[in-house]
Structure 1
Amino acid sequence: MSMSSETIVDAGKGIRFKRNTSDIIPVLDFSPMLSSDPEIRKQIAPALRKACTDVGFFYLVNHGIPDAVIRRAYQAMQRYFALPAAEKMKRHYMSTPNHRGYVGNGDINADHELKGNDMHEAFEAAHDLPEDDPDYLKGIKFYGPNQWPDAPPEFASALGTYFDTQLEFGKTMLRAFALALELPETYFDAMYTKPMSRMRACYYPPQQPDWDLSKIGIGAHRDYELFTTVWQSPQPGLQVKGVGGDWVEVTPIDGTFVINLGNLMQRWSNDVFLSRPHRVVNLTTEHRYSIVQFFGVDYDATLDAFPTCVTEERPARYPPISCGKNTEDQVAQTYYKK
């Protein structure tokens, strides 16, 4: 699991970045959190806190999610994105009432400062709740039924299983974050009863020779929620902007997830933990895939700051905001141009 030595890469078109080294983006072992011994679980806290305060990005090994679940989801999404565009457009997210379905090539612009559109496709899903779900009936966009495609036939089962497995993992990951924040381990449990979690299965085609900076795979942005898990196919492309200003390639490592913090985590931690800009540039001649899952808490969960992140010398820097309001505002800007 060793990294290549750090080098500066100039990929043309103004894309400069550093190859990753393990001291830039650390590799954390999640196995202590799978122990029944609370003293062993606490062992993850120092390294996790350092990763969250210094970088905001890290790899996670021994995460406990079965390879078979990941492999089945990967195979299903490969078949899905190979379908004709007309087939995928039958479930376009703009034609669904609750932000689910297909996102076409060029549909969104994650970097609001650039005038181009992002060159990737995605399929978005979340809690697969019935149409009589009370929050869905109230018009909360991120609850309700998924808009699964008809083909391939295994897509809903494979991606749904991946989502559900991640959702269970998210509860344990939040307990690790609680320990790193010097909070009670179960601090988030009461607000993780119907959590806002979104999944994006993503496809990045190879960049064409005439590509430009305003039309990369996905432009520089920060995620919205508390944290994100990223599974990557072997092709490189994910890059994070370090605190020193350099773009660093987050090289795929087999058997790991990449974890990055979102804006809500930085806000609720009173800027103790970092949410870093990141982007995807597929500079290979191969097809690149990833599965990204965003983790919030319950829609109405509202804080100004975690209690351990506020002192007389460091008062709360932001007004209270709910998880739901935070996500709705930022999704509206990216996907609905509001």
Structure 2
Amino acid sequence: MIEYTPAKVATSIPVIDLSASLAGDAEVKSSTAWEVHKAARETGFFYISGHGVPSEVTEGILEVSRRFFDLPTEDKLDADINHSSCYRGYEPPAFQTLDTGSAADNKEGFQIGKDLGPDHPYVRRGLPNHGPNQWPGTMPELKTVMEDYLLRMHDLAHHLTGLLALSLDLPENYFAPGYAEDAISSRLLHYPSQDGVGEGNQLGAGAHTDWGLITILLQDSIGGLEVADGNGDWIQAPPVDGTFVVNLGDLVPVMTNGLYLSNMHRVLNTAGARRYSVPTFYDLDYDYVAEAVPTTLAEGESAPERITVGDHLTNMFRRTYTA
């Protein structure tokens, strides 16, 4: 087991520049991975700059998001998520409750993933959250923009997963067995402005951790994301131009024997303007078994927990959706 230095109590979120690591130099990748290691232990959150995604792509998807949510309700409901077998399409306001016991979240969304036809083996098996996307008939450009964005996020997620492996003193391709049928979804989100916390502790997104492996979040300029720091206080994660916010999900502590964090966060938009964001959730294959990697176990120690990615994500979906 590798001896790691103690993590400090973090009160801010670091920015990690990926530009050199994307160039492919092994030594630079190791240095970048060490920055990931520190952030993963201190908050489970970090910004990434130099990620290689052009600004016209990020600006384009935020613009198409604004236009989609401006559509009449009946047009958005043309792709009602309640008509999907795999949680794809339009999520009406108050569809999800991320903080159990609080009021439903004050947001609406639109979600896509890998577009899988009826003959795909996982669709034939009836696995949850695997299947076709659906699209509103009145806005064909939404499909073009979102599918391009999803492909770019898929490439970026693979790079981040490689850095995650390196940060644990594992080969960069350690998690590659989970790549063949990996899962990825991107979600357009719209948060109306609130005067403050609503009745029943209603927030834009209630306090929660993310469920899977890695989340890559694109924010607009409004702000409202808050992250729990090392003291348990809420700190702002404001928009930083040209960056994404990355955070680790609940499977990461399982896979690192508790070394890395999946941290609480929430959204409260009190800016007096509508907020738009685009989170992308990346996970390994449904059948991939998540358990502590060897470098986080003492000699002779066995992994304390084993669960497939699919079983874990299915359990979390059932807990948080109201419909």
Same fold (TM over 0.5): yes
Distance 1:183 1:147, change over 3 A: same
| Distance apart, 1:313 and its partner CA | 8.5
Matched with 1:78 is 66
1:327 equivalenced with 2:313 (yes/no): yes
Counterpart CA distance in 2 for 1:62 and 1:131 is 38
Matched with 2:260 is 273
Q: Verify the 8 A CA contact 2:197 2:268 in the aligned structure 1.
A: no
Matched with 1:241 is 228
Alignment of 1:1-338 (within 5 A): 24-114=12-102, 116-208=103-195, 211-212=198-199, 214-312=201-299, 315-318=302-305, 320-335=306-321
Counterpart CA distance in 2 for 1:186 and 1:210 is 44
Identify which range, 63-72 or 47-56, moves more after superposition.
Answer: 63-72
Q: Verify the 8 A CA contact 2:287 2:310 in the aligned structure 1.
A: yes
Show CA shifts across 1:233-255 (max 9, x none): 00010001122110011010010
Equivalent AA in structure 2 for residue 242 of structure 1: D
| Same amino acid, percent of matched pairs | 33
Counterpart CA distance in 2 for 1:160 and 1:302 is 28
Distance 1:46 1:151, change over 3 A: same
Distance 1:138 1:210, change over 3 A: closer
Q: Verify the 8 A CA contact 2:11 2:229 in the aligned structure 1.
A: no
Equivalent AA in structure 1 for residue 52 of structure 2: G
Q: Verify the 8 A CA contact 2:183 2:284 in the aligned structure 1.
A: yes
Show CA shifts across 1:115-149 (max 9, x none): x1100000111001223212112111222210122
Equivalent AA in structure 1 for residue 106 of structure 2: M
State TM-score, norm by structure 2. Answer: 0.93
| Distance apart, 1:151 and its partner CA | 2.8
Counterpart CA distance in 1 for 2:209 and 2:81 is 21
Equivalent AA in structure 1 for residue 128 of structure 2: K
Q: Verify the 8 A CA contact 1:196 1:295 in the aligned structure 2.
A: yes
Q: Verify the 8 A CA contact 2:205 2:267 in the aligned structure 1.
A: yes
Counterpart CA distance in 1 for 2:11 and 2:207 is 22
Counterpart CA distance in 2 for 1:306 and 1:122 is 35
| Distance apart, 1:98 and its partner CA | 1.1
| Distance apart, 1:213 and its partner CA | 5.6
Q: Verify the 8 A CA contact 2:224 2:267 in the aligned structure 1.
A: yes
Q: Verify the 8 A CA contact 1:32 1:42 in the aligned structure 2.
A: no
Counterpart CA distance in 1 for 2:11 and 2:290 is 33
| Distance apart, 1:211 and its partner CA | 3.0
Show CA shifts across 1:271-322 (max 9, x none): 100000111000111110000001110111103211111114965332x111
Show CA shifts across 1:99-122 (max 9, x none): 1111111111100132x1100000
Counterpart CA distance in 1 for 2:50 and 2:200 is 36
Q: Verify the 8 A CA contact 2:105 2:206 in the aligned structure 1.
A: yes
| Distance apart, 1:225 and its partner CA | 0.6
Q: Which runs of 5+ in 2 are unaligned?
A: 1-9
- Cα RMSD over matched residues? 1.7
Show CA shifts across 1:179-228 (max 9, x none): 11111111112211121112111000111478336221010010001110
Counterpart CA distance in 2 for 1:138 and 1:316 is 29
Q: Which runs of 5+ in 1 are unaligned?
A: 1-21
Q: Verify the 8 A CA contact 1:196 1:324 in the aligned structure 2.
A: no
| Distance apart, 1:93 and its partner CA | 1.4
Counterpart CA distance in 2 for 1:154 and 1:257 is 24
Counterpart CA distance in 2 for 1:261 and 1:72 is 26
Higher relative contact order (CA 8 A, sep 6+): 2
